[in-house]
Amino acid sequence: MKNKLEYVWPIVGLAAVVFSIYLLSKELKGVEVGQVWQAIVDRGPLMILCAFLSTSLAYAALAWYDRIALLHVGRKLSWPIVSVVSFVAYALGHNIGVSVLSSGLVRYRAYSKMGLNVAEVAVVTAFCAFTFAYGAIFLGGIVLTGEPGMLARVFNIPVGVALGIGIVMLVLVALYQFGSIMRLKPLKIRNLVIAYPKPEIAFRQLFAAPIEIIGAAGIIYFALPDSLNPGFFVVLGMFLASFCAGLISNAPGGAGVFEISFMTIFMLVMGLDPTVDDPATRTMKAQVLAALLMFRLLYLLIPLAISCLVVLYTERSNFGGLISSIFGGKAPAIDNVTPAPVKLDPVRQDPPPHS
């Protein structure tokens, strides 16, 4: 049964990608590639630079995730090492899908060489995932209490209900900090056990994930044209919901799921009819899609390419051994080769002729 379940999540992720691409193709029907490219170019170098800086902020915060998790298990590694491991783990995890598992494998490969055992790496990986979830709840609570009408428009619920959800989320965040300060017993939810970390670690969690999410959302904020930009607070809420949908789907890089979620939420929040198909709407969708492609390029694809180069460099000796084994083993070293003896036949010389 366990072996069968191993195939479930990849199948779910693949199905999510296929279905989301289908929906996205319907949503973007009539949108031309030239419109999307022009929308990217129109943002100008300054906005693209700001989007790049937002990406750097996000990945710096992701490195802080690992740093905090390592402190939680009593390990303290240098910032450069943690930054590289975290960057590669998240760059590969975000793009491969099933982020906790894929990033955990990268962490185990790196941190095991630095003395961490399997249990410690597992705790670090789970702690990083929890830090993101904790930060998402915190930011979600702030967005819903500050802008409850956004959720009300998307799901057609009363504003008071949306506000109540936001307050509950903030209360949960506060209770976690309270439990850490008071050294309460671990919280058990069926098989899930949440042990409160030290107060100084829990306090850092309160800021690490929001900084990362704010940086990632900033990419889209700076990539959106001014005429369609509803403000950072609203963009943050739309990004948070769409990004979480992509993660839950287990689709590689949230492909399709993230885009269709953001596009749908954007249309509803802006009070537009998603079914309308006129030139103005197509232009607007092209501009939003350009912002999403900018996010995918800066936050996912470029880090993926860099992380692949890092992996190839750090694992070059293993790759060399693998290639040698594939092509028949290593060639013997020159120093170990004994020259074969050379047999020289005597040369017959005839006597010189008599004159």
Kindly state the DSSP code that residue 297 receives in the 8-state scheme. I
In a domain, 345, yes or no: no
Distance CA 279, CA 327 (A): 58
The answer, yes or no, to whether residue 324 has pLDDT greater than 70, is no
In a domain, 152, yes or no: yes
Q: Which of 4-18, 228-242, 260-274, 315-329 has the lowest mean pLDDT?
A: 4-18
Question: Mean pLDDT throughout 118-140?
Answer: 92
Distance CA 238, CA 265 (A): 6
The answer, yes or no, to whether residue 117 has pLDDT greater than 80, is yes
Stretch (H or E) spanning 194: strand 192-194
- Domain residues for the domain of 264 are 16-24+32-312
In a domain, 6, yes or no: no
pLDDT: which is higher, 302 or 6 = 302
Answer whether 0.95 is exceeded by the pTM. no
**Number of domains the chain is built from:** 1
pLDDT band at 1 (very low <50, low <70, confident <90, very high): very low
pLDDT digits (tens, 9 = 90+) for 45-87: 888 899 999 999 999 999 999 999 999 999 989 899 999 999 9
In a domain, 89, yes or no: yes
In a domain, 247, yes or no: yes
In a domain, 323, yes or no: no
pLDDT band at 169 (very low <50, low <70, confident <90, very high): very high
On the 0-12 / 13-18 / 19+ scale of CB atoms within 10 A, 55 is: buried
The answer, yes or no, to whether residue 17 has pLDDT greater than 80, is no
- For residue 288, the model assigns a pLDDT of 87
Tokens of 329: 């083993």
**Radius of gyration of the chain from its Cα atoms, rounded to whole angstroms:** 28
Distance CA 181, CA 161 (A): 30
Average pLDDT value for the chain: 78
The answer, yes or no, to whether residue 252 has pLDDT greater than 80, is no
Read off the amino acid at residue 257.
Answer: V
In a domain, 208, yes or no: yes
The answer, yes or no, to whether residue 154 has pLDDT greater than 90, is no
Percent of the chain with pLDDT over 70: 72
Residue 351, phi then psi, degrees to nearest 5: -65, 150
Tokens of 4: 């069968």
- For residue 5, the model assigns a pLDDT of 43
Q: Which of 62-66, 295-299, 346-350 has the lowest mean pLDDT?
A: 346-350
pLDDT: which is higher, 331 or 53 = 53
Q: Which of 19-28, 140-149, 154-163, 269-278 has the lowest mean pLDDT?
A: 19-28
Tokens of 169: 């989320």
- Report how far Cα 344 is from the mean position of its chain's Cα atoms: 70
The answer, yes or no, to whether residue 328 has pLDDT greater than 90, is no
Q: Which of 93-107, 125-139, 227-241 has the lowest mean pLDDT?
A: 93-107
- Report how far Cα 3 is from the mean position of its chain's Cα atoms: 27
Question: Mean pLDDT throughout 144-169?
Answer: 88
- For residue 61, the model assigns a pLDDT of 95
The answer, yes or no, to whether residue 143 has pLDDT greater than 80, is yes
Q: DSSP labels for 160-177?
A: HHHHHHHHHHHHHHHHHH
In a domain, 342, yes or no: no
Tokens of 225: 């044209």
